Amino acid sequence: MLTNTKEKIFVTKSYMPPLEEYMQYVNRVFENAQLTNNGPLVRELEEKLIEFLGIENIQYVTNGTIALQLALRALDIEDGEVITTPFSYVATTSAILWEKLTPVYVDIEPDNFTIDPKKIEEKITDRTRAIMPVHVFGYACDVDTIQKIADKYHLKVIYDSAHAFASVYKHRPLVTYGDISTLSFHATKLFHTVEGGACIIKDEIVKKELDLLKRFGHNGDEHFCMGINAKQSEMHAAMGLAIFPHLYEIIDKRRIICQLYDSLLEGCVKLPKKQEGLEYNYAYYPVVFKSEKELLRVFEALKKEEIYPRRYFYPSLNKLPYLLDYQPCPISEDIADRIACLPLYPALDLSIVEKIAKIIKTTVDN
């Protein structure tokens, strides 16, 4: 009987460091027998990330969603509304809802798909407590305008920077903007620790508060506040430390793949517009088709070749079925119906990139 031996190509593939390099760190864990509670590998990884990202502090936690929740708690945002984007992964909205807050959606810019700052002020009420934009796909929000609005209305700014690791904007690491910026180190990310996330915090007092919140709210036998367990383990830190020396190689290989896509797909699909002053991290390769019908036709053609892109991000979050009220966001809804991310990871062979581009070009409406 014939079997299909064709390799399946998914939208991403987790980067795996050389096993012997990972095991060097695992051996250290076994030697000191400390698996959690701010162990030496966690502290070492935090120091390396501080240096690499050009930041002053980092709180390494269990995932990017809890990082958003901790950010809201550390900034004392305990009731009211949070202005956010409908164009993101569901975790952005989930974090707000989980903290018993109300998400208020502001539509996105049509060119780079980040929150449209021109539409923020009209959504501010006396119940607005914070703005939570997303540097979607690693592209920069209009950080200057957003900060001016926040200052005017005395609002906090929490950036969901899950996609923005290593992106630089106006000569500053993108993760340094806002009161708190959060990261995700999920296995699918450019840099990962299997599961993980982080908070980068502007204010020293808030930093100490968040550090307390992530470990049950107590120091030793002294309890100061209600907290949660968001401490990260030594085994997760071991993966991050093993990957860390390969970061520049990872980014460079992703850049080469993106540039090849650019050359092959020019004029065929719409791409996000990169802001002037942005040094991009090549976290994703999103493309927008002319219609949802065209997108689905391309998906079907790629599936026949065992190639599986993903609909990032679908649906537009303002259309989630468990929200109490529908808040129209026509641009986000339109883009969400037509956008997909193409396979992108360091081990992706360039011949596969060429094959994907050829299938797309022969399938779309000309």
| 20: Cβ contacts below 8 Å, ≥ 6 apart | none
CA proximity to 126, closest of 171, 169, 79, 161: 79
Segments making up each domain of the chain, as ranges? 9-14+245-363, 19-244
Give the percent of the chain with pLDDT over 70.
Answer: 98
Please report which confidence band the pLDDT of residue 88 belongs to, taking 50, 70 and 90 as the band edges.
very high
Q: Would you give the distance in Å from CA 341 to the centre of its chain?
A: 14
Q: Are 199 and 182 in contact (CB under 8 A)?
A: yes
Which region, left, alpha or beta, applies to residue 196 given φ > 0 means left and ψ of -120 to 50 means alpha? left
Residue appearing with tokens 């939570």: 132
- Asked, as a colleague might, if the bond just before 245 is cis with ω within 30 of 0, I would say no
Burial class (CB in 10 A: 0-12, 13-18, 19+), 19: exposed
- In the chain, where do the E strands start and end? 9-10, 59-61, 81-84, 102-105, 128-132, 156-160, 168-169, 172-173, 180-184, 197-201, 218-219, 222-223, 278-279, 286-288, 307-308, 339-341
At the fourth CATH level, which superfamily is domain 9-14+245-363? Aspartate Aminotransferase, domain 1 (3.90.1150.10)
Q: In this model, does residue 236 exceed pLDDT 80?
A: yes
The two domains 9-14+245-363 and 19-244 share their CATH topology (first three levels equal): no
CA distance 288 to 117: 22
Q: In this model, does residue 4 exceed pLDDT 60?
A: no
Beta-carbon neighbour count of residue 217 at 10 Å?
A: 15
Q: Give the class (CATH, top level) of 19-244.
A: alpha beta
Q: In this model, does residue 1 exceed pLDDT 60?
A: no
- Model confidence pLDDT, tens digit, residues 201-235: 999 999 999 999 999 999 889 999 999 999 999 99
Please report which confidence band the pLDDT of residue 5 belongs to, taking 50, 70 and 90 as the band edges.
low
- Model confidence pLDDT, tens digit, residues 105-125: 999 999 999 999 999 999 999
Q: In this model, does residue 365 exceed pLDDT 80?
A: no
Give the percent of the chain with pLDDT over 90.
Answer: 95
How high is the pLDDT of residue 6?
75
User: Residue 109 corresponds to which tokens in the numbers above?
Assistant: 């810019």
How high is the pLDDT of residue 2?
43
Task: Compute, in degrees rounded to 10, the torsion defined by CA atoms 246, 251, 257, 261.
Answer: 170
Tell me, what DSSP letter sits at residue 118? G
- Model confidence pLDDT, tens digit, residues 144-190: 999 999 999 999 999 999 999 999 999 999 999 999 999 999 999 99
User: Residue 210 corresponds to which tokens in the numbers above?
Assistant: 């968040």
Q: Are 364 and 349 in contact (CB under 8 A)?
A: no
Count of H-run helices and E-run strands, the chain: 11, 16
How high is the pLDDT of residue 259?
98
Please report which confidence band the pLDDT of residue 72 belongs to, taking 50, 70 and 90 as the band edges.
very high
- Model confidence pLDDT, tens digit, residues 265-309: 999 999 999 889 999 999 999 999 999 999 999 999 999 999 999
Q: In this model, does residue 364 exceed pLDDT 60?
A: yes
- Model confidence pLDDT, tens digit, residues 192-201: 999 999 999 9
DSSP H helical ranges for 160-303: 204-213, 234-243, 247-265, 292-303
- In 72-216, where do the E strands start and end? 81-84, 102-105, 128-132, 156-160, 168-169, 172-173, 180-184, 197-201
Which whole-number Å values give the CA distances from 127 to 83, 94, 147, 154, in the listed order? 10, 19, 18, 12
